[in-house]
Structure 1
Amino acid sequence: MKNNTIKLIYSVLALFFLSSCEKELPTYYNFQGYEFASREPDGGSWTPVLIGSGDEIIIPAPEPATSASYLQEIEDLKVEMAQMSQADESAVAYWTQNPIIRWNEIALELIAKYNLIPGPNDDGTYTLPSPSNPSGPPAFPFAHPPYAVRALAYLSVAQFDGLISAWHHKFNYNRSAPFIQDESIQPAYSDNIELSYPSDGAVVATVSRQILTKMFPLEAEYLAKKEAEHLRSLLLSGANVQSDIDAGQLIGDAISSIALERAENDGMKNAQAPKSVSDSLAAAAQDRFGWQWINVEIPQRPVGLTPLYSQVQMWSVDNVEQTRPIPPPAVGSPEYQEDVAILKDYANNVTEERRRIANFWQDGLGTYTPPGHWNEFAKEFIVKYRLNPLRSARTFAYLNMAMMDGGISCWDAKYYFHYPRPVQTIQGFKTIAGTPNFPAYTSGHSVFSAAGAEILAYIFPSEASLVRGWAQEAAISRVYGGIHWTFDATVGTDQGIDVAQYTLTTARNDGAD
């Protein structure tokens, strides 16, 4: 009976978070009139992340436009376009212009779908989601913030590198798009696509399907369907013939293989450590500082969330200890007592505005998580400033690299300092934002948000004041919600800014500015 009650509690919590956070699903953009602000003819010379240069991946030279094989491809294309169905036309309209946006939308959808806490077994024990048994129960993955930002990082970095390679070959081979070769072809988006070999859209489709299938294996069929729809739309748009698409897929396959090899060996498989390891981290903090975090959620999970996430390979930082923040105030110290008074005041004076801020930045179960929230902001700016796919991929790559590095640094601080949350040490204290299953210091949302804001401020300098203000609001929202101390938020914000500088050093030297 007790375990049935526990399962009911988890079901009710899941429904509550899903209903209260419906706003945190991806926005679907209409790209009509979306003419790229720039074409980047030198984009193939930019410095990639995973490979050495844009010419590292070799593809065969295209057949001349006068060759019999190419002319037959043009005729085949015209036949296909003449037979387009209404569904085909809708697919072309959906995938037109900037597929980086579309695949990010799909990624955020999947993160929200899988961002659910695995419940207890009938005997009260917990089984962790496993990639070796994705159907479970419980289903794999649990797309919590560290998992979500890692999935987004690998997706966007692979897209970025793949497009640098595509750009290199495009401007090396200079094959004009089919609608330029044959004026009888009416293209879906002639304002943006002039060079077709290899198809950059095919690179994105293949990379995205492979990376997301690895991250969300139960969605393999759905993702394969999306890839096929995307690839067919490239043909039916009049922008590519089949050999353009085939060459793009070659690049996509090569980049995906490199990215997934890194992912396989980056340490994430060991991040959700067993209870013995989790307990040893708590004991070390007790010996070192005289305190430790204790999970007071109901029902209580026996192990904190990803205690060894700090050991996952970072993108731009050599050693996570380089980014470890100053220690938090000692429990019981005057600085600590000052924060107790602040949190009690917030709890006793929950204004409408504070509640709105806490709810807006909740990013809890059933949502696309804090990193997803910043990906949504990035998409808004990409559309506003009409970035082409290469610049869009660059934006997401650096954004998610910085936030993933920030998350790894944050989790290092969480389990090194093992600082209690307010609900643990303030007698009778209540939160309005749940009870996270990991230590307090520093605030993950603060770190993710500050790191994300710094990247967006760099790429969109006219939005710098706005995004940094959002990061500050995201940080204080966790204090308003009662789940963090003010120093979790302020130091976390500084930590996110500091970690982002490593990514920004890479970005400023990649040749794109």
Structure 2
Amino acid sequence: MYKYPTIFFLLALSIWSCSKDEKPIVITPNDYNNAVDKVTEVIIHDIFSPPVASRIYAYSNIAAYEVLVQKNKDYKSLAGKLTDLKPAPQASADAPVNYDLAALIAQMEIAKTLIFSEDKITALRDSLYTSWEKQNPTELSASKEYGLKVADHIKSWMDGDMYKQTRTMPKFSVNPDNPSRWQPTPPAYMDGIEPHWMKIRPFVIDSASQFKPLPPPEFSMEKDSEFYKQLIEVYDVRNAMTSEGDDSEKIAIAQFWDCNPYVSTHKGHLMFATKKITPGGHWIGIVKIATQKTNSNLMETVHAYTKTSIALFDGFISCWDEKYRSNLIRPETLINQYIDDSWAPVLQTPPFPEYSSGHSVVSGAAAEVLTQIYGDDFSFEDDTEVAYGLPVRNFTSFRTASSEAAMSRLYGGIHYRAAIEEGLKQGRQIGDYIVKNLNLKTDTAQAAN
């Protein structure tokens, strides 16, 4: 008569023993930093353009944020705040979901979807799955199910942003008969990249043209014109540069903020790419520095990444809208044609029209968001470029860093002053708009601060 009760007792004891050995899986801010670093690594490897890179960062971080916000009452969902984004699905009430774990899974799933070298993200994910499976298979299963459900929700929303449609749109047509219009630049003479990026759906700004900058100075090769004066300034600044004194600092600044993933090197008949971080990737690296310096928890870390990547994404849409509207020729082209055919800038000119400066715009936008989060007196050591052979630079604030990033384009010889100054204004206006219209802290959390 005791046969079956004994079996049931042993089965219950076995289940209890297994669950006793299963400890909650802990996801740290550093785990998330490592996942974002992997995304940056793949973006560099796959040579994604700066606008496309901003899209990869944004959607992957948004996916993680929308998972974490389900359990954190100090932050608000992005649903209803970003264009067309609906509330994420809820987890089953009785499912043992670890939201931190689910957030990281969602981030990796979206990142894997958006890059070419899926195997690199998959290898990281699978190594983590192996570790987590040993720790707590029950929690991993439930968290994976929920994380992938949110990722599917983000994918569905993502598919409506016009990106796929722009992949089949025509290349940019160069007008060689108009001396003011952009022409491909040496050494690779690449086509203009992403000429239809202004058609991509923005997140917070209401349209690509909402923050349209002032037009550039009217094109003129008359020596007393404003345009010609700015052209000659680029020429003179470069010619005055040496490896000593103040000019060596200008060279260092130009190289530090280069962030051109399209740099190509020629040796004889061979040409190969020197892979570099994008402007957005540099600012994502600064987010990591800020979160580590402040010992941010996971929610705070993901919040900073997400809000900054949203600013970068909208910044590129706004900037590219102006680039292909004004379609302005680069300094290098005019200097080689009319002034000095042997002149070369410090930096390699990137393959798209000149006005406004992309780095100026996105640096201004990112700096405003980070200033809102961490304050205007946040000093930091920027070691983002150490991996690419460049030394650390120190900044007293995010805005100071953005100003230097903008001026680096003049020192580098790739932009006129107007593109830099108006681009920085454009970016700061975008960043300020996002700060005012995307407040993600709840009233209770703000009162506590």
Is this a same-fold pair by TM over 0.5?
Answer: yes
Q: Pairwise mapping of residues 113-262 of structure 1 onto structure 2 (< 5 A)? A: 113-115=45-47, 143-167=48-72, 197-220=96-119, 222-234=120-132, 241-262=136-157
Is 1:486 the counterpart of 2:374 in the alignment?
no
* TM-aligned CA distance change 1:206 to 1:268, over 3 Å: same
* TM-aligned CA distance change 1:99 to 1:166, over 3 Å: farther
Letter in 1 for 2:416: W
Q: C-alpha deviations, 1:128-184, integer Å up to 9, x for none?
A: xxxxxxxxxxxxxxx11111111000011111011112446xxxxxxxxxxxxxxxx
Of 25, 31, 34 in structure 2, the residue corresponding to residue 102 of structure 1 is 34
* TM-aligned CA distance change 1:392 to 1:322, over 3 Å: same
Cα contact 2:29–2:296 (8 A) shared by 1: no
Q: C-alpha deviations, 1:464-503, integer Å up to 9, x for none?
A: 8511111111111111111111111111101111111232
Is 1:405 the counterpart of 2:314 in the alignment?
yes
Measured in 2, the distance between the counterparts of 1:407 and 1:74 equals 54
Of 289, 311, 320 in structure 2, the residue corresponding to residue 380 of structure 1 is 289
User: Which one is further off, 433-442 or 363-372?
Assistant: 363-372
Is 1:364 the counterpart of 2:260 in the alignment?
yes
Deviation, structure 1 residue 300: 2.4
Measured in 2, the distance between the counterparts of 1:214 and 1:449 equals 27
Measured in 2, the distance between the counterparts of 1:307 and 1:393 equals 31
User: How large is the Cα RMSD of the aligned pairs?
Assistant: 2.9
Measured in 1, the distance between the counterparts of 2:365 and 2:137 equals 41
* TM-aligned CA distance change 1:330 to 1:476, over 3 Å: same
Letter in 2 for 1:340: L
For residue 508 of structure 1, give the secondary structure of its aligned residue in structure 2.
Answer: coil
Q: C-alpha deviations, 1:181-211, integer Å up to 9, x for none?
A: xxxxxxxxxxxxxxx9521232123212211
Q: Where does residue 454 of structure 1 map in the other structure? A: 368
Q: Where does residue 75 of structure 1 map in the other structure? A: 17
Q: C-alpha deviations, 1:248-297, integer Å up to 9, x for none?
A: 2233112211211222221122445655x522xx66x96xxx83111132
* TM-aligned CA distance change 1:479 to 1:271, over 3 Å: farther
Q: Where does residue 201 of structure 2 map in the other structure? A: 313
Deviation, structure 1 residue 234: 4.5
Q: C-alpha deviations, 1:18-66, integer Å up to 9, x for none?
A: xxxxxxxxxxxxxxxxxxxxxxxxxxxxxxxxxxxxxxxxxxxxxxxxx
Q: Where does residue 230 of structure 2 map in the other structure? A: 339
Q: Where does residue 193 of structure 1 map in the other structure? A: none
Measured in 1, the distance between the counterparts of 2:140 and 2:404 equals 44
Cα contact 1:447–1:493 (8 A) shared by 2: yes
Q: Where does residue 424 of structure 1 map in the other structure? A: 333
Deviation, structure 1 residue 218: 3.0
Letter in 2 for 1:165: Q
For residue 397 of structure 2, give the secondary structure of its aligned residue in structure 1.
Answer: helix
Cα contact 2:42–2:115 (8 A) shared by 1: yes
Deviation, structure 1 residue 80: 7.3
* TM-aligned CA distance change 1:291 to 1:247, over 3 Å: same
Cα contact 1:343–1:479 (8 A) shared by 2: yes
Q: Where does residue 56 of structure 1 map in the other structure? A: none
State the 4+ residue runs in structure 1 displaced beyond 6 angstroms: 67-71
Q: C-alpha deviations, 1:49-101, integer Å up to 9, x for none?
A: xxxxxxxxxxxxxxxxxx999986663366578xxxxxxxxxx99x6454321
Deviation, structure 1 residue 391: 1.3
Of 438, 443, 462 in structure 1, the residue corresponding to residue 352 of structure 2 is 438
For residue 320 of structure 1, give the secondary structure of its aligned residue in structure 2.
Answer: coil
For residue 438 of structure 2, give the secondary structure of its aligned residue in structure 1.
Answer: helix
Unmatched segments (≥5 aa) in structure 2:
1-8, 74-94, 242-246, 262-274, 380-395
For residue 321 of structure 1, give the secondary structure of its aligned residue in structure 2.
Answer: coil
Letter in 2 for 1:345: D
Letter in 2 for 1:442: S
Of 378, 381, 397 in structure 2, the residue corresponding to residue 466 of structure 1 is 397
Identity %: 25
Of 362, 378, 395 in structure 1, the residue corresponding to residue 304 of structure 2 is 395
Q: Pairwise mapping of residues 22-37 of structure 1 onto structure 2 (< 5 A)? A: none
* TM-aligned CA distance change 1:97 to 1:495, over 3 Å: closer
Measured in 2, the distance between the counterparts of 1:248 and 1:346 equals 56
Q: Where does residue 133 of structure 1 map in the other structure? A: none
Deviation, structure 1 residue 236: 5.6
* TM-aligned CA distance change 1:234 to 1:70, over 3 Å: farther
Q: Where does residue 270 of structure 2 map in the other structure? A: none
For residue 431 of structure 2, give the secondary structure of its aligned residue in structure 1.
Answer: helix
Cα contact 2:213–2:422 (8 A) shared by 1: yes
Measured in 2, the distance between the counterparts of 1:510 and 1:97 equals 19
Q: C-alpha deviations, 1:273-329, integer Å up to 9, x for none?
A: 655x522xx66x96xxx831111323323x310000011010101111111111000
For residue 286 of structure 2, give the secondary structure of its aligned residue in structure 1.
Answer: helix
Cα contact 2:163–2:200 (8 A) shared by 1: yes
Q: C-alpha deviations, 1:108-138, integer Å up to 9, x for none?
A: 11111112xxxxxxxxxxxxxxxxxxxxxxx
Deviation, structure 1 residue 440: 0.2
Measured in 2, the distance between the counterparts of 1:151 and 1:396 equals 12
Measured in 2, the distance between the counterparts of 1:69 and 1:258 equals 38
Measured in 1, the distance between the counterparts of 2:66 and 2:418 equals 38
* TM-aligned CA distance change 1:494 to 1:433, over 3 Å: same
